[in-house]
Amino acid sequence: MGILLQAATTVLDTANSIMPAAAPPVKELSVLELLMKGGVIMIPLILFLAIAIFFIIERYLFFRQRSGIHDNLVRDVLDKLYAGNIQGADALCTADKSALGNVLQSGISQLGKPIDHIEKALEIQSNIELNEMEKRMSWISMISGVAPRLGFIGTILGVILIFYNISQSADISIGTISAGLYQKMITSATGLIVGVVSFMGYHFLLTLIDNYSMKLQKQIFEFVKGIQKPVK
């Protein structure tokens, strides 16, 4: 019996000796820690993201402020003009505080001149209003193109540094390569995220402005048609 117990103990000791050691617990990284491992390239990328978000929100709020289309504004202005109250029509446009109000106001200022002069004034003012809405959107477009490329540059520079360190230390273990590579891939991922956010924000705003432009042109057409209508 003693011999059997000794043999069993020997077998257990041998099994324990050949069993792999328990893997060390994986350290979980917070988002901030993960971003900090991306290196100095992360600084302009985070700055680009902040600028893009700021301009997207600022442009959207400006658009909401200036894009009001009041169905009764053109009719009310025409009613004032039919009654001979040009100042009243101008006051309605001023009180409206919208792009449409400014456009109609520019047309009212040309009343008494040939119709082509009025149409030209309306066209110029409508272009000014639309350009005001698109102001600073070029920054968003630029960031959507530059951010992914900058992130890719950060990854390439990091890979170059990894292989340089390997050439100096002759350590080509998987752990050494993967530890450095995952950190450098953070810049590519961040650049893509910034690019996608900027791209979507830019085209969202552009779609809003394009749709508003069509509505604005319709209101201008109604105004031009109305001022050419003979008053009974």
Residue 13 lies in a domain: no
Q: Is the pLDDT of residue 8 over 90?
A: no
The answer to whether residue 192 is domain-embedded is yes
Domain limits for position 104:
37-225
Pairwise pLDDT comparison (213 vs 156), residue with the higher score: 213
pLDDT, averaged across the chain: 81
Would residue 143 count as lying in a domain? Answer: yes
Q: Is residue 21 part of a domain?
A: no
Q: Are 81 and 194 in contact (CB under 8 A)?
A: no
User: For residue 131, is it within any domain?
Assistant: yes
Against a cut of 0.85, is the pTM above it?
no
Q: Is residue 132 part of a domain?
A: yes
Which pLDDT value is given to residue 10? Answer: 55
In a domain, 25, yes or no: no
Query: Confidence band (pLDDT; 50, 70, 90) for 192?
Result: very high
Q: Please indicate, yes or no, if residue 6 is contained in any of the structural domains.
A: no
CB-CB contact of 100 with 219 (8 Å): yes
3-state secondary structure of 4: helix
Calculate what percentage of the chain has a pLDDT beyond 90: 40
Question: What is the torsion angle, in degrees rounded to the nearest 10, for the CA atoms of residue 100, residue 101, residue 102 and residue 106?
Answer: 100
Lowest mean pLDDT among 65-79, 134-148, 197-211: 65-79
pLDDT category of residue 62 using cuts at 50, 70 and 90: very high
Over the Cα atoms of the chain, what is R_g? 34
Q: How far apart are CA 43 and CA 102, in angstroms?
A: 42
In the chain, how many domains are there?
1
